[in-house]
Amino acid sequence: MFARRVVALLLLSSGVARAQAADGGVPDGGVADGGVAGGGVAGGGVAERAVADGTGRSAHAGSPIAQALDEFDFGDYESVVTRLRPIVDALELAPRDLPQKTDRMEALRIYGIACTLTDRKTAAEGAFLLLLREEPSTRLDPTLVRPEAVAFFDQVRARHRDELLAAYRKTRPRYYWALDLIPLAGQLQNRQWRKAVIFGSVELVLLAANITTGAVLDARKGDHRDFMPEGPTGPDYRGMVPAMRGVNIASFVALLVVTGAGIIDAFVVGKRRVERERQVEARLGL
């Protein structure tokens, strides 16, 4: 009887151990799923950064912010604020401490979140504003970031909308409709280099044909402008006149048509470009 009880207890212990292993469980007092013991915030660290910048911890290895990222992972927001404050303050003057854009954006992001969660709203707003100036399309993922930080970030974006919109438009090449009236200038303004080459080549050939035929006709028309031979032995150009005039007129008309098509194309593409940029601004929340 005693042996049977011992075997039963052993089987029961083995079953519990297998169940815990299958469920990813940990003994009492441990932390499941990579969470942080002692009141830390799960989901605020490595996974969040990996989704935010697509690279995770390895992208910032050896960076001045690497230790702050580790502290952020463990929910030590006070240490994050203390460590990053001088770096973020220096970013307002010059980004020499963090020359890499990915490092600057990550430092501003976690510093802003840490300041928000430690009730330093002024510092958080400054960091979020610098982050949005760096990249106006930045968002905080509500599935990875605490809701109070996401809400405050959205408030900063809304309060500084006009400033952010102006900063975004500064990075975009301006559109001048008057340039579309100049042949080829519209294609160059719209950055359609291939179209500019095609239109330019065709226009150049037609212009050359028009100028050449016009010059030949002018040189052969004679003193009386009738293309008659000069003297009894002079060459007679009257036979070539109809063909030369036809080429001259056709090349001129074709030049007008191609130039007009280029101008219309520039206006159409320019209008689409402006509409597309407005749609991008709307998607960015600007």
Residues in the chain with pLDDT values less than 50: 1-55, 58
The per-residue pLDDT for 53 is: 42
| SS3 call for 76 | coil
Q: Would you state the pLDDT for residue 95?
A: 60
- Domain edges within the chain: 46-170, 177-283
Q: How far apart are CA 148 and CA 129, in angstroms?
A: 17
In this predicted structure, what is the pLDDT of residue 122? 92
Give the span between the Cα atoms of 36 and 25, in whole angstroms: 15
The alpha carbon of 56 is separated from its chain's Cα centroid by a whole number of angstroms, namely 20
Buried/exposed 154-180: b ≥16 CB within 10 Å, e otherwise: eebbeebeeebeeebeeeeeeeeeebb
Give the model's pLDDT for residue 223: 59
pLDDT tens digits for range 31-78: 333 333 333 333 344 334 433 444 455 455 556 688 888 888 888 999
- Separation CA 189–CA 202 (nearest Å): 19
CATH number of 46-170, picked from 3.40.50, 2.60.40, 1.20.1420, 1.25.40: 1.25.40
Closest CA to 152 of 105, 115, 102: 115
pLDDT of residue 134: 82
CB atoms within 10 A of CB 193: 10
pTM summary value: 0.47
pLDDT of 136: 78
